[in-house]
């Protein structure tokens, strides 16, 4: 963070009442915890079900016009 931004944030914090500063501190802790959780989280790869229907016919056309007709929509 740039020094000017830090100064701006510090000035804003100085104007807050004590109970609000505690809320800000809690929020900062939450952000740090979330950032750390993202770095350390390792997900298992997704395991989608696969249904094999065999080979597709060689002359199968997947063109829209062949599947739905050519009515211009």
**35 contacts 24 by C-beta, under 8 angstroms:** no
Contact 20, 12 (CB under 8 A): no
Q: Which residues of the chain have pLDDT under 50?
A: none
Residue owning tokens 């989280």: 41
Q: Is the pTM of this model over 0.95?
A: no
Q: Can you spell out the DSSP letters for 18-69?
A: HHHHHHHHHHHHHHHHHHHHHHH--PPPP--------PPPTT----HHHHH-
pLDDT score for 1: 64
Encode pLDDT of 6-24 as tens digits.
Answer: 999 899 989 999 889 999 9
Q: What is the pLDDT of residue 57?
A: 92
C-alpha span between 43 and 37 (Å, rounded): 12
């Amino acid at each position: 963070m740039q020094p000017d931004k830090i100064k701006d944030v510090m000035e804003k914090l100085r104007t807050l009442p004590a109970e609000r500063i505690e809320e800000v501190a809690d929020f900062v802790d939450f952000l740090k915890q979330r950032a750390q959780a993202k770095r350390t989280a390792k997900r298992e790869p997704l395991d989608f079900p696969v249904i094999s229907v065999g080979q597709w016919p060689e002359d199968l056309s997947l063109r829209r016009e062949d599947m739905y007709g050519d009515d211009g929509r």
